[in-house]
Amino acid sequence: AFQAQARDRQALIIDAAYRLERYRANGQERDPQRAQRSFELLRAINQNPPPELDIPQPGLPEDGHESRTWQAGIGTRGDKAFGEYGLRMAYHDLNDNAESFPLGAQIEILQMKLRQYEGNQWQLQQLDLATIRSLTPRNELLQPLSWQVTGGLERVPGKHDDETLVSHVNGGGGGTWQLGDDMLGFALGTVRVEHNNDFAGFIAPAAGFNSGLLWKNPLGNFSLEAKGDFFTNGEVRRSLSLNQQWELSRNLGLRLSAQREFSHLASPENEVMLEVKWYHY
């Protein structure tokens, strides 16, 4: 099959085989057989050199939106209206303005959100220390592990259909696949450790899943996610959410978010929010 290929096609195949061999050898102890294969491939490249690679270079993150983000939104949770105000010190999530950022990459450091319900009822909604997600697609040659980790404080469904502020650390790993030129699908298994005043124990572990779709479309980034946590104490918490970002300018975005939550401790709840994001400094 190789000999039946045109000479320029053979050159590309040999070059790709050499690059893959060197990639697999990176960080490994020297293997005489692998070294011999690399030498033979290199000699074949010398006899039939491939054309120069012309690969479009992606934009650099420093050419994208600014790092610090101010956030302000209005929405409803059940039958209650609220305003939400937030500040993130750095850097980028899966739905932020996409210019110069790879699809599926997220690094957030020190994010706080305050929520004001009707009747001037204020509460801390979220305080993230760090959130990192790496959703790199797998293919026939490279099969990287997708992973995520986060920790901090967040509101979850609680007793009496209230929202309970909990502390947590969670992470997970799995795979991501390229479903189209600008679309990724991912599926991860997750683990979580949580301190929740509604639970009898001081901490409660859980295993779960996090799966979804990412789509870079003409308006901006769209995401659809399904999550589930199954705690050892019997609590089961699940959610389905979608987000669409409109990129108004390099440093300004508008995001529509919708979510439905399920919990054994509370009735199912719907939440919808429209949020402005200003990337500043």
Q: Of residues 52 and 166, which shows the higher confidence score?
A: 166
- The reported pLDDT for the residue numbered 59 is 80
Residue 53 has pLDDT above 80, yes or no: no
Question: What is the radius of gyration, based on Cα positions, of the chain?
Answer: 24
The label of the residue with tokens 């402005």 reads 276
pLDDT score recorded for residue 142: 84
pLDDT of residue 25: 87
Q: Is the pLDDT of residue 219 over 90?
A: yes
Position with higher pLDDT, 88 vs 59 = 88
**Percentage of residues in the chain having pLDDT higher than 70:** 100
Average predicted confidence (pLDDT) for the chain: 94
Q: What is the pLDDT of residues 141-165, one digit of tens each?
A: 889 999 999 999 999 999 988 999 9
The answer to whether residue 58 scores a pLDDT higher than 80 is: no
Tell me the per-residue pLDDT of 230-269, one tens digit each, with 9 for 90 and over.
999 999 999 999 999 999 999 999 999 999 999 999 999 9
Provide the strand spans (E) within the chain. Answer: 69-77, 80-92, 105-117, 121-134, 137-138, 146-157, 163-180, 183-195, 204-216, 221-231, 236-249, 252-263, 269-279
Structure token pair of residue 245: 């970002």
Q: Are 170 and 178 in contact (CB under 8 A)?
A: no
Least confident among 42-56, 228-242, 265-279: 42-56
Tell me how far CA of residue 80 lies from CA of 117, 273, 274, in angstroms: 7, 12, 15
> 62-279 — its CATH code?
2.40.160.40
What pLDDT, on a 0 to 100 scale, did the predictor assign at position 281? 86
pLDDT confidence bin for 54, thresholds 50/70/90: confident
pLDDT digits (tens, 9 = 90+) for 15-27: 999 998 888 888 8
Cis peptide bond prior to 91, omega within 30° of 0: yes
pTM: 0.84
Q: 73-120: per-residue pLDDT in tens?
A: 999 999 999 999 999 999 999 999 998 899 999 999 999 999 999 999
Judge contact between 227 and 214, C-beta under 8 A: no
Residue 171's pLDDT is 97
